[in-house]
């Protein structure tokens, strides 16, 4: 529990520091905002025989602060601005066994697992509208969100915004990776298991790779100044450094082959655009391209049509193929792309009642070569097998329908969905309601029935019934304390219970 206590103490210290920033002893013309979200979960996962498989006592809390107008300038929308933003997260699992982090316990150890990690989600100083509006910058840990997805790094970003409807960004630093201080592996490329190997013998858990710094840089060019159109082109490259085992399995008869030095982790570029016209509709489209694998990783497009003031009809297409870190062995294997197509609609029947629904389909397939290619015979005279078989298209589809009715400080709704495929089906629905009494007391409830049929594992079909009851109290605006109790029942897992406690705080100065 030492690590958990240390994490809790660190969060308490950081809260005090941030409070002192937001409430300085000397008054200045600056604005500050402090927010906090805390969720506690208590539940156990049991096998059909009743044996406790996993016990969880999770506490997740985030603490954020923003301080604006650090330059203490008079209110002027064209004046330079300097601000500071930070958010920390503490995600502890008190139900986990300490042996899961014990390097000497090979049977229970989970490499890379932390019982109470503290990570810096973001923390940076940001400047805007310097040099007569041309220059902006951010320094610190920050997010980049574009056609390449969510990404986080420690470093600097410089943005030049011209009066000619064009802006350019240049950024560089170190990619946020697990095993580094105040970091998690959430934003790494998939395919390599990395982390802090302190205390591990060289021959232990060879598949768990040491994590070291990953230099990264990127550029972006985007449109600016248009109210109805926005486009952004982006390029990013990340390098791997340090050592990496060629094989994750050590046989003890020879020294392992190890990569060393600077090498490619990822190199991608992409483009995304969106346009909209009032009373007509909107269009979004984009793609990302993996330069290491020389293939498109994602392609997407969406069209929204405003049929009337109360009816919107939309269609979406998404193409996705898994891609991995350049060090990963998964690059050797074939990846099956997914093609998703959906049609959806939303109808605001009245100011209080809205109805939404849609249909969706997904298609898998991998064409790797002609099926009937004639291959030369092998040296022993036997015909060689087709090394490049193709897979047939495997479709699946489904639909959903939902309705919501609002009155005063209350809402009631229902939703249902179904998914159907050759490998299995799932169908069900639930109803929910929320009512706020006297603007402060919160009452919530949800009940549902869901069933599934797994055709790959006969006998594993089941119907699950669940209900959730919640009660809360609004402490003050943007702040809420809420408790939830959940009960799930099905013939495979028996009965499961979960208790969740939520606390959301927001203080502005």
**Considering the domain boundaries, does residue 410 fall inside one?**
yes
Closest by Cα among 117, 234, 82, 226 to 164: 226
The pLDDT of residue 2: 45
The pLDDT of residue 450: 97
Please enumerate in sequence order all residues whose Cβ is within 8 A of that of 251, keeping only pairs 6 or more positions apart, or say none.
none
**Considering the domain boundaries, does residue 492 fall inside one?**
no
Tell me how far CA of residue 92 lies from CA of 116, 211, 246, 496, in angstroms.
Answer: 4, 22, 33, 22
**Considering the domain boundaries, does residue 199 fall inside one?**
no
Closest by Cα among 68, 64, 72 to 19: 64
**Considering the domain boundaries, does residue 247 fall inside one?**
no
- The residue with tokens 């041309």 is 134
**Mean pLDDT computed over 10-36:** 58
The pLDDT of residue 13: 45
Most confident of 26-40, 98-112, 426-440: 426-440
**Considering the domain boundaries, does residue 165 fall inside one?**
no
The pLDDT of residue 74: 61
Q: CB of 421 within 8 A of CB of 396?
A: yes
The pLDDT of residue 276: 94
pLDDT band (50, 70, 90) for residue 485: very high
Residue 460's domain comprises: 336-368+386-470
**Considering the domain boundaries, does residue 457 fall inside one?**
yes
**Considering the domain boundaries, does residue 220 fall inside one?**
no
Q: How far from chain centre, in Å, is Cα 450?
A: 26
Q: Which residues of 168-190 are buried (b: 16+ CB within 10 A; e: fewer)?
A: ebebebbbbbbbbebbbbebbbe
pLDDT band (50, 70, 90) for residue 4: very low
**Assign residue 187 a region: left if phi > 0, alpha if psi is -120 to 50, beta otherwise?**
alpha
3 state SS for 57-70: EEEEEEEEEEEECC
pLDDT over 90 at 398, yes or no: yes
DSSP 77: T
Q: Which residues of 447-483 are buried (b: 16+ CB within 10 A; e: fewer)?
A: ebebebbeeeeeeeeeebebebebebebeeeeebbbb
Closest by Cα among 154, 151, 120, 149 to 138: 154
Range with the poorest average pLDDT among 47-56, 89-98, 165-174, 500-509: 47-56
What are the DSSP E strand ranges found in 73-184? Answer: 81-93, 118-129, 135-146, 149-161, 166-175
The pLDDT of residue 11: 47
Closest by Cα among 345, 339, 338 to 359: 345
Closest by Cα among 167, 198, 200, 203 to 181: 198
pLDDT over 60 at 185, yes or no: yes
Closest by Cα among 130, 121, 197, 199 to 158: 130
**Considering the domain boundaries, does residue 361 fall inside one?**
yes
Q: State the Cα–Cα distance between residues 199 and 104, nearest whole angstrom.
A: 9
Summary mean pLDDT of the chain = 86
What is the number of structural domains in the chain? 1
Residue with more model confidence, 9 or 309: 309
pTM of the model: 0.85
Q: Which residues pair with 315 in a beta bridge?
A: 303, 343
* pLDDT digits 0-9 by tens, 413-463: 999 999 999 889 999 999 999 999 999 999 999 999 999 998 888 888 999
How many CB atoms are located within 10 Å of the residue 407 CB? 10
Q: State the Cα–Cα distance between residues 227 and 152, nearest whole angstrom.
A: 28
The pLDDT of residue 1: 43
pLDDT band (50, 70, 90) for residue 47: low
Q: State the Cα–Cα distance between residues 387 and 75, nearest whole angstrom.
A: 69
Q: State the Cα–Cα distance between residues 106 and 3, nearest whole angstrom.
A: 20
* pLDDT digits 0-9 by tens, 272-295: 999 999 889 999 999 999 999 999
């Amino acid at each position: 529990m030492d690590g958990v206590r240390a994490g809790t103490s660190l969060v308490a210290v950081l809260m005090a520091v941030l409070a002192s920033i937001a409430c300085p002893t000397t008054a200045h013309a600056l604005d500050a905002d402090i927010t906090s979200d805390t969720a506690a979960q208590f539940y156990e996962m049991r096998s059909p025989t009743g044996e406790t498989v996993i016990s969880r006592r999770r506490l997740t809390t985030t603490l954020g602060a923003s301080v604006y107008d650090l330059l203490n300038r008079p209110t002027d929308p064209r004046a330079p601005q300097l601000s500071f933003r930070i958010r920390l997260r503490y995600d502890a699992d008190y139900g986990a066994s300490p042996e899961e982090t014990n390097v000497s316990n090979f049977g229970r150890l989970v490499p890379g697992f932390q019982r109470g990690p503290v990570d810096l989600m973001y923390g940076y100083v940001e400047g805007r509208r310097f040099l007569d509006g041309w220059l902006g910058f951010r320094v610190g840990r920050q997010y980049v969100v574009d056609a390449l997805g969510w990404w986080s790094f420690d470093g600097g970003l410089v943005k030049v915004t011209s009066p000619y409807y064009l802006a350019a960004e240049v950024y560089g630093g170190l990619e946020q990776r697990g095993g580094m201080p105040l970091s998690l592996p959430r934003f790494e490329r998939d395919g390599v298991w990395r982390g802090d190997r302190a205390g591990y013998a060289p021959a232990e858990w060879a598949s768990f790779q040491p994590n070291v710094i990953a230099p990264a840089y990127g550029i972006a060019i985007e449109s600016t100044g248009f109210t109805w159109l926005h486009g952004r082109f982006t390029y990013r490259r990340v390098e791997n450094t340090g050592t990496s085992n060629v094989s994750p399995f050590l046989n003890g008869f020879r020294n392992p082959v190890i990569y060393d030095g600077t090498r490619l982790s990822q190199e991608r570029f992409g483009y995304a655009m969106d346009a909209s016209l009032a009373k007509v509709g909107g269009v979004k489209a984009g793609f990302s391209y993996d330069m290491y694998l020389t293939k498109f990783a994602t392609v997407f497009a969406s069209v929204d049509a405003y049929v009337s003031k109360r009816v919107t009809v939309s269609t979406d297409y998404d193409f996705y193929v898994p891609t991995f870190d350049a060090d990963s062995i998964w690059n050797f294997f074939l990846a099956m792309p997914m093609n998703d197509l959906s049609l959806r609609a939303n109808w605001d029947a009245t100011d209080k009642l809205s109805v939404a629904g849609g249909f969706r389909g997904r298609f898998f397939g991998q064409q790797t070569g002609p099926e009937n290619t004639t291959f030369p015979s092998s040296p022993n005279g036997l015909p060689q097998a087709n090394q490049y078989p193709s897979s047939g298209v495997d479709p699946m589809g489904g639909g959903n329908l939902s309705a919501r009715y609002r009155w005063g400080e209350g809402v009631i709704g229902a939703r249902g969905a179904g998914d159907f495929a050759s490998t299995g089906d799932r169908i069900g629905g639930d109803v929910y309601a929320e009512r706020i009494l006297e603007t402060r007391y919160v009452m919530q409830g949800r009940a549902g029935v869901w069933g599934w049929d797994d055709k790959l594992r006969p006998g594993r079909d089941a119907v699950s019934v669940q209900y959730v009851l919640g009660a809360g109290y609004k402490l003050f605006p943007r702040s809420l304390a809420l408790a939830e109790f959940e009960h799930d029942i099905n013939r495979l897992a028996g009965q499961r219970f979960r208790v969740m406690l939520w606390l959301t705080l927001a203080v502005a100065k």
